[in-house]
Amino acid sequence: MILKQMITMKENFVKSREERTKRLEEMALKIRRHIIREIYEAGSGHPGGSLSATEIITALYFHIMKHDPKNPKWENRDRFVLSKGHSCPTLYAALAESGYFDVKELLTLRKLGSRLQGHPSMKIPGIDICTGSLGQGLSVAVGMALGARLDSRLYRVFVLLGDGELQCGEVWEAAMAAAHYKLGNITAIVDRNRLQIDGNTETIMSLEPLPFKFKAFGWHVTEVNGHNFNEIIDAIEKGFKIKGKPKVIIAHTTKGKGVSFMEGSVAFHGKPPNDEQFKIAMKELGEY
């Protein structure tokens, strides 16, 4: 009897996770289509790092984070800092799909008069800090986390970093401060796509052994497949149970994920698809 109950519980658990994954995967696919269209319409932008970060940002906005699109300044909202600001097409799509603004506005990216600047700005509801010049977001997250502590608020602070970005010294200043002040309310996620503008991170300026670096700085480290929702979500949620320590999730990803000719491509770090590439990309992403 008990055994049977346990089996049903397990089945329900598996089923609800499958449903969750299905829902999130559908959203991720939608967001990828937005990304390609946004950048194509803009005629410039950064598809590679936007596509590699899609599951991470989707998991945050559509499962993990407490936020209210109707009340973007809600004081207890979880905070998100897109430290690698060039991946904003993904963030803009997630904000639009959440209901912060109309999805139609996505097509105004980078156009004169648009709220959707080429890198995140304060013009957009749901964005708390400007980014674009790399290396600064983790510092801002530390400030947000200290602010939460001062006000005894329970919100969490999430920050997405590029792997190339980790070459910035300020990131490690901030990493040191987060551990020193025991900021357990910070979860950093590294989009470990192993590419930056000029090539592979390990040839340009090697980051490995990356987990050990964060460990040595006093962080709790988890590594996941950054395109697998269960892995991302489990790692973030398990991290919540570890108190008094900042958490970093090194999310192994593929730059350009989801569009065959962009995958693993250095060229598509910061280049829009041309007309033909746009059509192929949209087809691959399920739009006929």
Partner 1 sequence: MFKDYKYPREAYGKTLRELGRERKDIVVLDADLSSSTKTKFFADEFPDRFFNLGVAEQNMIGVAAGLATTGKTVFASSFAMFVVGRGYDQIRQSIVYPKLNVKIVTTHAGITVGGDGASHQIIEDIALMSVLPNMNVFVPADCVETEKMIRAIADHKGPVYVRMGRSKVPTIYDDSFEFHPGRASILKEGNDISIIAIGIMVSKALEAAEELKKKGISARVINMSTVKPLDEETIIKAARETGGIVTAEEHNVTMGMGSAVASVLSEKYPVSMFKCGIPDVFGESGDYKELMEKYGLTADNVVKTSLNVLKRKR
Contacting positions for ligand TPP (CB under 6 A): 48-49, 52, 84, 86, 132-135, 162-165, 191, 193, 195-197, 255, 269
Judged by beta carbon, residue 127 or residue 250, the one nearer Mg ion is 250
Residue 165 interface partner, choices partner 1, Mg ion, ligand TPP, none, CB cut-off 5-8 Å depending on type: ligand TPP
Q: How far apart are CA 228 and CA 268, in angstroms?
A: 22
Least spacing, CB of residue 146 vs partner 1, in Å? 6
Please report, in angstroms and rounded to a whole number, the separation of the first and last CA atoms in the chain: 50
Pairing of strands 195-196, 247-252: unpaired
Judged by beta carbon, residue 148 or residue 207, the one nearer ligand TPP is 207
193 part of the interface to Mg ion, by CB under 5 A: yes
Judged by beta carbon, residue 210 or residue 235, the one nearer Mg ion is 210
256 part of the interface to Mg ion, by CB under 5 A: no
163 part of the interface to Mg ion, by CB under 5 A: yes
Judged by beta carbon, residue 185 or residue 201, the one nearer ligand TPP is 201
Non-local CB neighbours of 134 within 8 Å, separated by 6+ positions: 83, 84, 85, 162, 164, 165, 168
Least spacing, CB of residue 116 vs partner 1, in Å? 16
Report yes or no: 253 and 53 within 8 Å, Cβ to Cβ.
yes
Residue 89 interface partner, choices partner 1, ligand TPP, Mg ion, none, CB cut-off 5-8 Å depending on type: none
- What are the strands, taking DSSP E only, across the chain? 79-82, 157-162, 186-192, 195-196, 199-200, 220-225, 247-252
Report yes or no: 255 and 195 within 8 Å, Cβ to Cβ.
yes
